[in-house]
Amino acid sequence: MPVPDLPCPPDAGRLRPQTLAVRGGQHRSGFQETSEALYLTQGFVYDTADEAAATFAEEIDRYSYSRYANPTVTTFQERLALLEGAEACLATATGMSAVFTAVAALVRSGSRIVAARELFGSTVTIFDQILPEWGVRTDYVTGTDPQQWERALATPADVVFLESPSNPMQDVLDLARIARLAHRAGAVVVVDNVFATPVLQRPLELGADLVVYSATKHIDGQGRCMGGAVLGGTDLVQGRIRTLYRMSGPVLAPFNAWVLTKGLETLPVRVRAQAAAAADLASWLEAQQGVEAVRYPFLPSHPQHDLARAQMSGGGTVVTVTLAGAGGRSSDEAAFAFLDALRVVDLSSNLGDAKSLATHPATTTHCRVDPQLRASMGITGGTVRLSVGLEDVEDLREDLEAALAACRGRPRPKE
């Protein structure tokens, strides 16, 4: 059976995202199953030795070995590509393997990366510890400062890498402007779009060349599997990236691809509901005693609020709160008291989940970031990142209210 060509369904071009999220990429087998089949198989068999030889000679296009391609993984890739408006997609085992495969395929010894400073911790480790050993240098800029981008991209570069909104302070970067500068410098623009998801922001339409995801976050959205994806034009994704992907093997497992495919069916509904609750809680939190600042892209107080409204169709599912010290407590102690008093919201470093999750970036996700750099990113001991889930928003509000009271000095009784 040949590897099916994009797009599927055949009239995908005229269908809207919510329909594509449910139906994109499905190729029913002869059994006419309703749900997407799970092809839990390493390899595929041949009718004749001739056919096997022709497959390996790449004279015919068919499934041969699941490191190269697997029908369940193909369904996930096609569905996500349709949602993203991308020509091509390769699904990876984790978000970090998506970041690494994309970047590693674009650089060689002597290459230069220009990156926004506000990045996921493991990405910083790749840029600062792994790639320098290979002769690849990274220059950082403050993502929200246009002059720093202009200065850095006055010199040729191979890759520009950024996240927007950034983790955890939710800086919003001007994707179209940065892409223009990057292209003039000869760079390929890679955007980590985890916080926004394909539902709220489409970087390829704003000039990015590649989008990377951790599917572990909203795409699964129910805390079950790891996964990732690289999306972009056929020339890049099915060219340099595909060779590295197929030969080094950071592929998504079929079972995880199946779970994530089912995750995509509800992604637009979940993300919109979570973003509505996050927006609601963000403006409520801003008015609460003991809260020093709230960062949420769609709040008018956000420093890049207009830009966020222009390039995103929703403010996202994460609210970043900075708690004030009070009553002899430092802001660090206030944040710990707040987190310990939560009863509905769980303490966990994941995000995008149906369950609301809170984390203290300074001592968890960003504990290895140099303290000075952390401070320059705006992360303090009082900063709490809240990933808003799908619970009733009133239950979340009551939980946050009681935790705020507890961090002002009234300990919350254990039930």
Ligand X SMILES: *Cc1c(COP(=O)(O)O)cnc(C)c1O
* Chain residues that interact with ligand X, rule: CB under 6 A: 94-96, 120, 163, 167, 192, 194, 214, 216-217, 226, 228
Residue placing its CB nearer to ligand X in the complex, 36 or 163? 163
Which residue, among 135, 119, 190, has the nearest Cα to 377 in the 3D structure? 119
Least Å distance, CB 353 to ligand X, is 12
Closest residue to ligand X, based on beta-carbon distance: 95
* Chain centroid to CA 140: 20
Which residue, among 390, 394, 324, 386, has the nearest Cα to 357 in the 3D structure? 386
C-alpha 175/C-alpha 87 separation (Å) is: 20
Residue placing its CB nearer to ligand X in the complex, 217 or 329? 217
Least Å distance, CB 156 to ligand X, is 26
Residue placing its CB nearer to ligand X in the complex, 301 or 363? 363
CB atoms within 10 A of CB 368: 10
Burial annotation 202-222 (CB, 10 A radius, 16+ → b, else e): bbbebbbbbbbbbbbbbbbbb
Residue placing its CB nearer to ligand X in the complex, 81 or 96? 96
| Type of residue found at 176 | A
3-state secondary structure of 296: coil
Residue placing its CB nearer to ligand X in the complex, 163 or 171? 163
Vertex 103 angle, CA 102 and 108, to 5°: 125
Q: Distances in Å between the alpha carbon of 156 and those of 110, 126, 178, 187, 343?
A: 12, 21, 14, 7, 51
Residue placing its CB nearer to ligand X in the complex, 55 or 248? 248
Least Å distance, CB 380 to ligand X, is 20
Residue placing its CB nearer to ligand X in the complex, 216 or 322? 216
Residue 18 host element (H or E):
helix 17-23
- Quickly list DSSP for 310-369: HH-SS--SEEEEEEPP-TT--HHHHHHHHHHH-SSSEE-S--S-SS-EEE-GGGTTTTTS
Least Å distance, CB 181 to ligand X, is 22
C-alpha 228/C-alpha 216 separation (Å) is: 7
Least Å distance, CB 408 to ligand X, is 31
Least Å distance, CB 203 to ligand X, is 13
Least Å distance, CB 217 to ligand X, is 6
Least Å distance, CB 354 to ligand X, is 16
Residue placing its CB nearer to ligand X in the complex, 36 or 353? 353
Could you report how far apart the first and last alpha carbons of the chain are, in Å? 59
C-alpha 13/C-alpha 290 separation (Å) is: 50
